[in-house]
Structure 1
Amino acid sequence: MKRLWVFFGGIVGVLSLLLIATTVLSKESGAVSSTDPNSLIIYNWGEYIDPDLIEKFEAESGYSVIYNTFDSNEAMETKVKQGGTRYDLIFPSESIIPKMIEEGLLLPLDHSKLTGTEDLSAFLMDQAFDPDNTYSIPYFWGTIGIMVNTDEIDPTLIKGWSDLWNPAFKNDILMVDGARETLGLALQVLGDSQNEQDPAALAAAVEKLADLRPNVKAVLTDEIKTLMINNDAPIGIGYSGDAAYVMAENPAVRYVVPNDGGAIWTDNFAIPKTAGNQAGAYAFINFMLRPENAAQNAEYVGYATPSEAAKAMLPRALTQDKAFYPDPSAMDLMEHYEYLGKDTVERYNDFFLEWKLGL
């Protein structure tokens, strides 16, 4: 992966390069603020944009981009809430947006300043988490499903979440370390919503997950990709973009969209209350919505683009892959993540921890 460097005119020498690397690629724990009105400070997930596009945007717009990264919605939300660091543009997931709206952390979007939204997929727009896209518009989207190593597992044996309970898969499954994802799949197997709030239904999902313990090899996050690539486990739960990366490195792996549920998620452009350069934020959003840029970004990152115009520019082998661009009939079975409120989120986390401790 190429590393992104932002150069400020006239600064030379090794010390300057180290300073720039620290500034541009600073992680959540060391974000940088700036009073320069010509700078645009972006706060995004790690490895979630083609660096060439930032360079292209800087050359076209004259803005200097300071690119900071976070590794969780909660870390991003906390930084914005603290307000001590200026961020002009952030990329929250749909599940955190209602909470950030309630807390007054997001600014309403002026849609008259946006271009390219007409290309965005209708099924991703005007969702319950942000009616009329008042505060956000989609950046990437994808699904959660099952990675299967076809050299070790007959892929016909895994078509949905319920197949994971097959005793033949003892110690074979890498589960994603997420309460919503894990309880969500068990809820869907039981015929409930992945956004279920009834404590009794959640308790039943945990009981169902208890029966899955013999098949679980480990509960991990990014490590799932490495283990699947290296043939260290035959089955892994993961996001579609992660699956695309794994499949590029290990052709034996296939990605299965569950036929008994699943999730559609979006990560989104949003302008936080900390924004000091709203004009630059709108300029960057519009730049990234241009079909040729959205297509380039989708090829680089590996997640599905919400732009129908960009999708038309992508290789047909990619866009016709139903695992990454499912048919509408498959998406009818999927649910968008909803924000469930602090108490319910804590209940999910408590149930999930209880389950993990029993492994």
Structure 2
Amino acid sequence: MKRLFSLLVGILAVCALLAFSANRLQTKSGDSGTKVLNLYNWGDYIDPALITKFEKESGYHVNVETFDSNEAMFTKIKQGGTSYDLTVPSEYMIEKMKAAHLLQPLDKSRLTGMSNLDARFTNQSFDRNNKYSVPYFWGTLGIVYNDKFIKPGEISHWNDLWKSKYRNDIMLVDSTRDIMGFSLVSMGKSVNTTNPATLRAAQHKLDQLSPNVKAIVADEIKMYMADNEAPIAVDWSGEASEMISNNAHLHYVVPSEGSNLWFDNLVIPKTAKHYDAIYAFLNFMLKPENAAQNAEYVGYATPNKKAKVLLPASIRNDKQFYPPSSTIQNLEVYSDLSPKTIGLYNDLYLEFKMHTH
């Protein structure tokens, strides 16, 4: 019994030592440390060299965790239990997070560099006066075409996709709002339409597109287009940029009549703890040289006008990814629609997919 007691004491001592060591380790590099920043970001959505640079300049250690959808990020933050300091939702998700009281307002007195941002990309409908968000990247939905099969200028509007000569030629990104959206725009309607009759008309028009649709896919679309598997695709600007970098025959066009303008934004979740680190990082990313480096690495458009000037001319003058104001003024940001309306969008899109296959 004595030996057993001694053994128990020994075990307890070892456990206490391990707990103390673990606590020391967590304090140094985990959620509860004071010299850390917990960043919850999309995968491969920041230049790793910038993380290293920030850590060296500021003395803060950055813990990066990634997500693959706005919805997954929303659920994780709503559940709580993890103290993220910054995350990167898209515009409609900011509306949803605000409604769920999951965001903290920015302390503008601690921010430097907001004046570096292009006024066209601030004060958007999803966050007036940027009370909660700092623009990170922006982009569009458009049409990718391969000049081995399609002459330049042959496709420049959404309605061009319905031409009978493109039978079995088009790949679509698998996205409800985007596919329903371009159909709505082709009818002269808003991408945020809520009228059921108009939405059904958009779905009926998509059904007429079915003979031209080769496939509805996700990330594979980049590989197929880079490998000349299809002449035409509908996808986002950042994905198009990656395709083009792998195939010089590919081009991207944003129809001038309208499309989606999307934003990803840095916000402070309610779980945040490390405010000095948060504002140090936001100010670091607002610096033109850092924003330019990040844009060159990621391939998406920067909302930082002073950073854009620092980009190579081949990038900053590329109207595929930095379209003129005449096109931008016709672009729309997605609104966070009601669950009932979103359900209708999803049902109609599913009907189109079933009709296509």
TM-score scaled to structure 1, two decimals?
A: 0.89
Assess, with a 3 A threshold, how the Cα gap between structure 1 residues 352 and 33 changes in structure 2: closer, same or farther.
Answer: farther
How many residues align? The count is 329
Flag structure 1 segments of 5+ consecutive residues without an equivalent.
Answer: 1-22, 24-31
By how many angstroms is 1:260 displaced?
2.2
Q: Map residues 48-197 of structure 1 onto 2, 5 A cutoff.
A: 48-197=45-194
Secondary structure in 2 aligned to 1:84?
coil
Largest Rg, 1 or 2: 2
Deviates more, 1:50-59 or 1:233-242: 233-242
> In structure 2, what is the equivalent of residue 45 of structure 1?
42
Give the whole-Å Cα distance in 1 for the aligned partners of 2:254 and 2:57. Answer: 39
Counterpart amino acid of residue 38 in structure 2:
I
Aligned to 1:318: 315
Deviation sequence 1:309-338 (CA, Å, 0-9, x none): 000101112111111111111112211121
Alpha-carbon distance in 1 for matches of 2:62, 2:130: 25
Deviation at 1:168? 0.9
How much does 1:341 deviate? 2.2
Find 1:328's aligned residue among 298, 314, 325.
325
The answer to whether the 8 A contact 1:172-1:217 is kept is yes
1:241 aligns with 2:259: no
Determine whether 1:216 maps to 2:213.
yes
* Identity rate, percent: 51
The CA RMSD measured in Å over matched residues stands at 1.4
Report how far residue 248 of structure 1 moved: 1.0
Note if contact 1:141-1:266 (Cα within 8 Å) is conserved in structure 2.
Answer: yes
CA deviation string 1:177-210 (max 9, x = no partner): 1111000000000110001111111111000000
**Stretch deviating more after TM superposition (149-158 or 104-113):** 149-158
Could you tell me how far 1:33 is from its partner in structure 2? 6.3
Match of 1:354 in 2: 351
The answer to whether the Cα contact below 8 Å between 1:121 and 1:308 also exists between their aligned partners in 2 is yes
Aligned partners of 2:291 and 2:307 also within 8 Å: yes
CA shift, 1:73, in A, is: 0.5
Q: Which has the higher helix share?
A: 2
Give how far 1:160 is off. 1.0
Segments of structure 2 that go 5 or more residues without pairing to the other structure are 1-25
Q: Any idea what the Cα deviations from partners look like across 1:118-158, whole Å, max 9, x if unmatched?
A: 01011111111111111112100011101100011123220
**Letter matched to residue 54 of structure 2:** F
Does residue 284 in structure 1 map to residue 276 in structure 2?
no
- Whether 2:204 is the aligned partner of 1:207: answer yes
Residue equivalent to 1:28: none
Q: Is the contact between residue 170 and residue 230 of structure 2 (CA under 8 Å) also seen in structure 1?
A: yes
CA distance in 1, matches of 2:351, 2:280: 46
Contact 1:33 1:87 in 2 (8 A): no
Q: Counterparts of 2:214 and 2:194 in 1: how far apart (Å)?
A: 28
SS at match of 2:64: strand
TM-score after normalising by structure 2: 0.90
Secondary structure at the aligned position of 1:145 is classed as: strand
Question: How far apart are the structure 1 equivalents of 2:344 and 2:152?
Answer: 34
Kept in 1, the 8 Å contact 2:257–2:327? The answer is no
CA distance in 2 between counterparts of 1:266 and 1:45 reads 13
Cα distance in 2 between the residues matched to 1:73 and 1:276: 22
Q: Given the alignment of the two structures, is residue 307 of structure 1 paired with residue 304 of structure 2, yes or no?
A: yes
More deviation in 345-354 or 174-183?
345-354
One-letter code aligned to 2:130: N
